[in-house]
Amino acid sequence: MTNRAKPVIAVDVMGGDHGPEVVVPGALAALPADFPFDLHLYGAPDAVEAELAKHGSAGLPVAVIPCTQDIEMGESPASAIRSKKDSPIVRAMIDQKAGQVQAVVSAGSTGAMVAASLIILGRIPGVDRPAIGTVIPTVKGELLLLDAGANVQCTADHLVSFARMGNVFAREMMGLATPAIGQLNIGGEPKKGTELNVETFKLLEKSDLNFVGNIEGNQLMLGPCDVVVTDGYTGNNTLKLVEGFARFMGALSKRPDLTAEEQAAFGPILQFLGKNFSYEVKGGAMLLGVSGVSIIAHGRSSVGAISNAVKEAWNQVRKDLPAKLAAGSQ
């Protein structure tokens, strides 16, 4: 955390399926009563001002940063970053690079957030490939999965670097003294899986990390690991399958062939799952390994999810996570 008067969290209010209507109240709800940070809301000024008026922002440390452009979900990230310099994501990231804001939160295009973070913020020393980290619920608590989608192809050195970053994250943000680190694989033995898996196993076993071995998908949510590393393709597929279970349960509850007892039972279970295991609890993924804080909220984010994403950004700023990731990646 730089020694400015007060840190600033930048929020892209145009991102996500619902735009300012959800992002503005979500961001406001994240502001603690003692205002430890300022909120800068990047987006179309009329829309943002209208939302602020609706929710009452007088006296709050909130500023509107007008942007004339926006990046659509389907756009090519690299060309969007080049051609849309006045979009919230690009503007906010440039301001973070200049030290004017300390974190950027967006529920917009994941690809654009990754590209803007990489191109504008750059990588921290010792990290060749930043990774998307995402927190997945387990029976015991939660685990950090990375890479959840930034790098479709990875080397063993990348996965070891992800493990180092995950180790720092779990220590600093999850409060674990010695995080248990596993490699997602299709078998437990050291020689199982791809060449990448076999090589990564060897390197992690030799490292000073608390590597507990390979973990299979059927064990993941039982909670034996605090940090699980994998390539971005497998990680993204895994994340989507985990998200899909909640949708599956929701869809099941509407099946016409349920008995009255089953129907009645789905209510409390869906509530329990929603309360404890929804993506809203964490509010999003983050890009770890760039020189700054970059929080990627879910496109379908609700007010509560946006609020949690902004709180996560503030926690990472408060703990100076990028500097600690850099120190742990040497």
Q: Which residues of the chain form contacts with its own copies (CB under 8 A)?
A: 74, 138-139, 149, 152-153, 184, 186, 189, 193-194, 216-222, 233-234, 236-245, 247-248, 251-252, 255, 258-259, 261-262, 264-269, 272
Q: Pick the closer one to its own copies by CB: 126 or 224.
A: 224
Q: Pick the closer one to its own copies by CB: 35 or 248.
A: 248
Q: Pick the closer one to its own copies by CB: 85 or 140.
A: 140
Q: Is 308 helix (H, G, I), strand (E, B) or coil?
A: helix
Instruction: Say how many CA atoms lie within 13 Å of 294 toward its Cβ.
Output: 36
Instruction: Say how many CA atoms lie within 13 Å of 306 toward its Cβ.
Output: 31
What kind and span of H or E run contains 26? helix 20-29
Q: Pick the closer one to its own copies by CB: 5 or 260.
A: 260
To its own copies, the closest distance from the beta carbon of 299 in angstroms equals: 12
Q: Please list, in sequence order, all residues whose beta carbon lies within 8 angstroms of the beta carbon of residue 240, skipping any fewer than 6 positions away.
A: none
Tell me whether the omega of the peptide bond preceding residue 147 falls within 30 degrees of 0, making it cis: yes
Q: Pick the closer one to its own copies by CB: 53 or 152.
A: 152
255, 309, 290: which is closest to 124 by C-alpha? 290
What dihedral do alpha carbons 224, 128, 106, 116 form, nearest 10°? -170
In whole angstroms, give the CA distance from residue 81 to residue 266: 44
To its own copies, the closest distance from the beta carbon of 218 in angstroms equals: 4
Q: Pick the closer one to its own copies by CB: 43 or 283.
A: 283
Which DSSP state fits 128?
A: S
Residue 241: how many CB atoms within 10 A of its CB?
12
In whole angstroms, give the CA distance from residue 227 to residue 78: 30
To its own copies, the closest distance from the beta carbon of 319 in angstroms equals: 28
